[in-house]
Amino acid sequence: MPGTAAAPTRRDWLGLIARAAGSGAMLQAMSGLAQAQPSGYAGPPKLQGAPRGARVLVLGAGMAGLVSALELRAAGYQVQVLEYQQRAGGRAWTLRGGDRYTELGGATQHCQFDPGLYFNPGPWRIPHHHHGVLDYAKRFQVPLEPFVQVNHNAYLHSLDAFGGRPQRFREVQADFNGQVAELLARLAPAAKLDAAVSKDDLDQLREALRGWGALDKDFRYTAGFHSADRRGWQVPPAGGLMPAPVPSQPVALSDLLKSGLWRGLADGHGYEYQTTMFQPVGGMDRIAQAIYREVAPLVTLDAKVTGIAQDGRGVTVRYLRDGASEQVAQADWCVCTLPLSVLGQLALQVQPALQAAIEAVPYAAAVKVGLQFRRRFWEEDERIFGGNTRTDLPITQIGYPSTDFNRGGKGVLLGAYVWGPNAFELSGMAPEQRVRIALEQGARIHPQYPAEFENGMSVAWHRMPATLGCFAEWRDELRAAHYANLCAVDGRVVLAGEHASLLPAWQEGAVLSALDAVGRLHAKAVATS
């Protein structure tokens, strides 16, 4: 009827949820409405009828290459894998005591971590909905443990806020949520929401805001038992004749807004970061190494590909062994998982559309620093067990190990995870300089750093010879122009890897890309046999 407000749509409700509770609540609601979808993994591919004697070259023994080799061999193909490095796993890489790493420019680091300690320079967590990676871990019996993404007792830090003193995540979250909830609850009756929401719904919304924001009976967020149950206590509840509990004092909303610390509250809200997340026990390379043990006879290490040629009969790949002698490998088909940053520098015989796609995609810069300390002071002194501290310092974040909780002894922190311009600046420094900067900046948050530090390792991904960057940095316009061409079978060659997926930077993207690529390659091989 004219003049009658329409009932709220699903979009209206999602917008209302997003404004009131943040993106994490909206994503949760979207999942309930079947809009946010999980991984496309549907189990191992069922490839049947491989042409008799058909041969496939797989270039690269990272996750995409290893999965490709495993599934193609199972389908009956003769498979050969060429890997540039002297190890398999690609970016699924773990540094342990005794390892050596030489970056572009010749700087060599010798890892001195104590036995049992490690550092993941590449991927370090697995979302619960990355079914492909999780299934390969299950198939090869790689034990997993929880990875703590959000720790309410970790810190949010800004050099210019609160005198540079780090604030507990839970305090910032509780105060921000509480005062936003109070503001919304007070504005709601006067905001003419009745035009879209019924009075009963409005009452329910205000009650929801009371619970979400820990408001009192008058819809206020003040110092008291409600707020202290979220942000913590000045004097916590105890036992016997110990002192009575005293609630802590919230920070004013204006001070929180000026601090900018609210930006860190989104940690854990994004679909890829929601609980539960996992990590392999003992290091991220455990899954890749388990697959590698299965296909190791097929893999040639220390094989640097220099060129890929093809014709109507097959594929010819030239590569160097021991950095000198050139060799040739031939096959009927090729699955190339080399990073585009490397592939674009090789002599290739592919169609112009694929060549343009390879050359169009830049790679993100990233730097990680691992620091070993003689004691786990973050647990012993500050009761931080796993999770991340966020800062506006160039180091960006500190990651606390999600293993060996409460055991004491030594530990390795992720002392820096740096992106963008700061990563380019750090990449231009010597490895020991990066470690020193991570120590200097981290000490602003944890003053224990100087006294407890023992040794460290740093990896600047643009100086990593095998990848020349961290991951493919797609933009919408690049995907529109090049993504389909990048993924299409080009003659007898198909590309796979995180760069050929809609999950760049994730192992799941590499796995799904590989399964899709070998399936399409197999279909073409059968059709042309």
Sheet order of strands, 325-331 included: 325-331, 315-321, 303-310, 347-348
Residue 455's alpha-carbon distances to 156, 252, 378, 408, 424, in angstroms, are: 25, 41, 17, 18, 23
Residue 110 has pLDDT above 60, yes or no: yes
Q: What pLDDT digit, counting tens, does each position of 17-31 carry?
A: 444 444 333 333 333
Is residue 356 a contact partner of residue 482, using CB atoms and an 8 Å limit?
yes
Residue 294 has pLDDT above 80, yes or no: yes
Residue 249 has pLDDT above 60, yes or no: yes
Tokens matching residue 332: 């009927």
CA dist 399 and 106 (Å) reads 28
Rounded mean pLDDT of 473-483?
97
Domain 56-86+301-360+476-528 is found in CATH 3.30.750.24 = no
CA dist 523 and 137 (Å) reads 27
Buried b (16+ CB within 10 A) or exposed e, 29-64: bbeeeeeeeebebeeebebeebbeebbbbbbbbbbb
Task: Just give the CATH number of 168-263.
Answer: 1.20.1440.240
- 14-28, 160-174, 381-395, range with the lowest pLDDT: 14-28
Give, for 525, the enclosing helix (H) or strand (E).
Answer: helix 507-528
| Residue in this structure with the two tokens 């409460």, named with its chain if needed | 406
Q: What pLDDT digit, counting tens, does each position of 47-94 carry?
A: 988 999 999 999 999 999 999 999 999 999 999 999 999 999 999 999
Is residue 329 a contact partner of residue 82, using CB atoms and an 8 Å limit?
yes
pLDDT at 395: 98
Residue of 346, 16, 42 whose CA lies nearest to 205: 16
Domain with CATH 3.50.50.60 in the chain: 56-86+301-360+476-528
Domain with CATH 1.20.1440.240 in the chain: 168-263
Domain with CATH 3.90.660.10 in the chain: 95-150+275-284+364-463
Residue count (the chain): 529
Residue 346 amino acid letter: L
- 36-40, 147-151, 258-262, 267-271, range with the lowest pLDDT: 36-40
Q: What angle do CA 448, 452, 458 make, to 5 degrees?
A: 100
Residue 154's alpha-carbon distances to 198, 294, 397, 412, in angstroms, are: 41, 40, 11, 16
Residue of 327, 335, 330 whose CA lies nearest to 306: 327
Task: Just give the CATH number of 95-150+275-284+364-463.
Answer: 3.90.660.10
Phi, psi of 389 (to 5 degrees): -105, 135
